[in-house]
Structure 1
Amino acid sequence: MMTLYLPKCLRRKQNIVINVRVVLYHCSVGGYEEPLHSELYETAFPKLTKLAHLLRNVDLIDGSFVNINDQSVAVDDYLQQSMHTFKSLGRIFLGSPMARQRLKSREGVPPHCFGKPSERESMTLDSLTKVSNFLNISAQQRKAVRLAICPQVTQHQIWTGALEEILAGLRSEIEVLNRYSPTKGTRMGQQIVASCLKFLDAANSFDPESTSWMRLAPTKVGDSPASHKWGDVLEMFNDLINCLRSEKELLFHFPKLEVMKEGLLQIKDVLIDKNIGYKETRRQGSLVQKKLTKTLGHSSRCLFTLLMYYLHGSVRDIQVEVCGGMYESGGKDKFCLCMGKILITNEEKMVRSGMKQLDRALGLFKFVWETAGVKASLELQGHLWCVGAEEKSLSYRGNRFFIHAISL
């Protein structure tokens, strides 16, 4: 179960003065020319080090602040502000003359990677269109990607599994809120989530291992008092959104309710019924797949969510802290994709977590690249920066990851 975690030093809100407004102003995209004056780096570095100590047990994972020791989730405005400041300052140092020189001297690293300020900004991946734009995939190749992916990710069990993942995560989040600060909206939301999960249980009743296939005389379709449609789930999603709107900033899974409504709208007339017999239930499940395959476009966030669940068993969008780019690597048909993350500490568990996050992002780009049938080769590289880290390279799931030090 998800719990709220807050470091003791943050609960006490120690008086850590972060007087770096001028430095952060220069961090805005297009707001500065590099390199910055050396005094700005000297001003920022002590603050960066102090924040690293303050946040030492917390990692930013796809938008959530997670205690890496027990995987609990932290919800606190001061924590978010401190983390945002740390990452912003970190990006400034990625563009410093020393960091640029160190990066160029690393064997196997493209010499121009992370050279532009835009390549050191963050990026949220929430649609295939964003991935394809980054890879410069042609319109014809995008069509091929969609045609290849849709029939797989819109399978009935993938569709219902993704919905269950969202609702189960939302249920855990609401339980935490109801434990500490219940409201009428969260209490009602908890009931609606439970009802939605019951509907999904009915939608999964065509499992060959269930007893529904044994019915010799199924009830006539539409006549059963237990007959429901996906439109009923759509109505509950709308009610759930209205109930939880005032708490949405505290609910990580809330945005996915709106995202999945796109798919629910397309299948709202399809039946969910435990009493219509195995063959008819399978037909309704096939109808869900056909409708979603036909209607979910390349830019659909719903389609992307289904793809994430299909690939990783998770509905999270992917956040890349340092987006990097694609660079030529030893020839016209050879490219290297570099992406990065700024770490709080260089402890093994933090480094491992960072590599895992980057590998998930890099793997998605590789998947789309190969599905599109691009003939050129694509090497994947992950880059991790940390204050005081020892510079080295590691291998994780066949890809190279480089550890870089942040220093003056």
Structure 2
Amino acid sequence: MWHLLHGVKSLPKKYNPARHRNAFFYHYSEELDDELQPSKWYERAYPKLVKSAHILKNVDRIDGRLTNIEDCSTFIDDQIDQEMQTFKSLARAFIGAPSLQQALRKATSSAPAIPNACFGKPNERESLTLNSLTKVCDFLNVSAQQRKSVRLRICPQVTQHHIWRGVLEEILNNLKSEMGALHCHPLTARLQMGDQIISSCVCFLAESAYSSSESDSPSWMRLASTRVADSPPSRKWGDILEMFDDLIKCLRPEKRLTDHVTKLEAMREGLYQIKEVLVERDIGYREARHQERLVQKKLTQTLGHSSKCLFTLLLYYLYGSVRDVEVEVCGGVYGRGSGSFCLCIGKVLTSDGEKMLWNGIKQLDRALGLFKFVWESAGMKGMLELQGHVWCMRAEERTLTYRGNVFFVHGIKF
């Protein structure tokens, strides 16, 4: 990832890129030679940032995948992915530049004041992947007692049967789609086996929801059991648990499917808790409701606060998606006095084109909504104002509002 800095003679002889990686960008003042002042570093690195932005025009990372903003298509390209990592890391260093910090203070001066301009400290410009309630609560400084309240409040909501089934189907469909995008023709033996297991899982979920004799009517709509002597034996959630185990073993070596395998592992935790619950077909309304309540009860009782399974259910409950929420510039929560607080997070974009900009704002809004939901579920004291900050190459400073939240657009200039 260091080829963008080719020609920038700011690295000391003792610098070891394998050891420090992104730390150079966050702590550049400690890594620079005495002969090279920070202003010189920015001056020499800026053309590399501009070049990288040009290469990545109309491309962004959404839900962990490279996306062409123009047509919303996703693709896999290791070189572009590396280029994106370099651009984001280098841009975060520029956010800490004195000139950009001054512009940030000026741009937010008309907003309700916060003690100090955010994103000034290196740790406020780091990225953050929200993949558990624990990370969200750590960020918001939620106490242990309040975390218990969060779990007790959200569990009954997110463990509803239709949420549970929806998450399983979403994960399997996303995985199947990603496997199709790998462009392996013919498919490797592992991918072929994985595809067969996914199909079996999808069939399991479909068959447990619909009757073969009345395929147009969900089983819970029938008033009485229609089971006959030669009906197939009852199945349990443990059957699909075994399929998930085999699928994880099959796909774990595929590095490009790591995120999907992680989600399978998260849901396996929940499947293990309900493995003895029956999943029957051709049953009446009362029997079906009893099975659904058992699923909800067991998941509510057993999924802990730090559970990745619980967090995945929460994401689907809030947004209909199972992808982890990524925050590129983590910012922080700042006290404003009188018991009120301001939460600031940010994102870096290659340009301020309309599609690019609004896609970035929607991603930030998703993260802000998650923070707000947990804040309110924890019963935190004080009002929480939400702010999103977007940095784009050479953009003009302006303010936008989306779904009641304020978003500041900043330009990266030198």
TM-score, shorter chain, exceeding 0.5: yes
Q: 1:44 to 1:82 in 2, by over 3 A?
A: same
- Residue pair 2:25, 2:93 contacting (<8 A) in 1 also: no
Does residue 183 of the first structure (1) align with residue 188 of the second (2)? yes
- Residue pair 1:68, 1:350 contacting (<8 A) in 2 also: yes
Identity of aligned residues (%): 56
Alignment of 1:264-279 (within 5 A): 264-279=271-286
Does residue 351 of the first structure (1) align with residue 357 of the second (2)? yes
Pick one of 384, 388, 394 that aligns with 2:400: 394
2:24 aligned partner:
27
Q: d(CA) in 2 for partners of 1:59 and 1:141?
A: 36
Q: d(CA) in 2 for partners of 1:135 and 1:249?
A: 32
Corresponding residue SS for 1:164: helix
Alignment of 1:135-150 (within 5 A): 135-150=140-155
Gaps of 5+ in 1: 1-14
> What per-residue deviation string (whole Å, max 9, x for no partner) do you get for residues 193-242 of structure 1?
11101111133349995255436345499x95242111111110111112
2:244 aligned partner:
237
Alignment of 1:7-406 (within 5 A): 18-19=6-7, 22=10, 27=24, 29=26, 32-33=29-30, 37-106=38-107, 107=109, 108=111, 110=114, 111-177=116-182, 180=185, 182-205=187-210, 209-210=217-218, 213-214=221-222, 216-219=224-227, 224-250=231-257, 252-329=259-336, 331-406=337-412
- Residue pair 2:396, 2:409 contacting (<8 A) in 1 also: yes
Q: 1:217 to 1:401 in 2, by over 3 A?
A: closer
Q: d(CA) in 1 for partners of 2:4 and 2:387?
A: 36
Deviation at 1:62, TM superposition (A): 2.8
Q: 1:229 to 1:96 in 2, by over 3 A?
A: same
Between 317-326 and 235-244, report the one with greater CA deviation.
235-244
- Residue pair 2:159, 2:300 contacting (<8 A) in 1 also: yes
> What per-residue deviation string (whole Å, max 9, x for no partner) do you get for residues 309-333 of structure 1?
000000011000000001122x230
- Residue pair 1:66, 1:73 contacting (<8 A) in 2 also: yes
**Letter of the structure 1 residue corresponding to residue 181 of structure 2:** V
- Residue pair 2:128, 2:327 contacting (<8 A) in 1 also: yes
TM-score (norm 2): 0.88
- Residue pair 2:75, 2:181 contacting (<8 A) in 1 also: no
TM-score (norm 1): 0.90
- Residue pair 2:351, 2:393 contacting (<8 A) in 1 also: yes
Q: d(CA) in 1 for partners of 2:22 and 2:165?
A: 45
Q: 1:212 to 1:300 in 2, by over 3 A?
A: closer
**Letter of the structure 1 residue corresponding to residue 24 of structure 2:** C
1:4 aligned partner:
none
1:6 aligned partner:
none
Count matched residues: 392
Corresponding residue SS for 1:258: helix
Q: d(CA) in 2 for partners of 1:267 and 1:208?
A: 27
- Residue pair 1:128, 1:299 contacting (<8 A) in 2 also: yes
- Residue pair 2:5, 2:45 contacting (<8 A) in 1 also: no
**Letter of the structure 2 residue corresponding to residue 403 of structure 1:** V
- Residue pair 1:389, 1:403 contacting (<8 A) in 2 also: yes
- Give every structure 1 segment of 4 or more consecutive aligned residues whose post-TM-superposition deviation is greater than 6 Å: none
RMSD across aligned positions (CA): 2.5
- Residue pair 1:342, 1:385 contacting (<8 A) in 2 also: yes
Gaps of 5+ in 2: 12-20
Q: d(CA) in 1 for partners of 2:183 and 2:292?
A: 35
Deviation at 1:276, TM superposition (A): 3.7
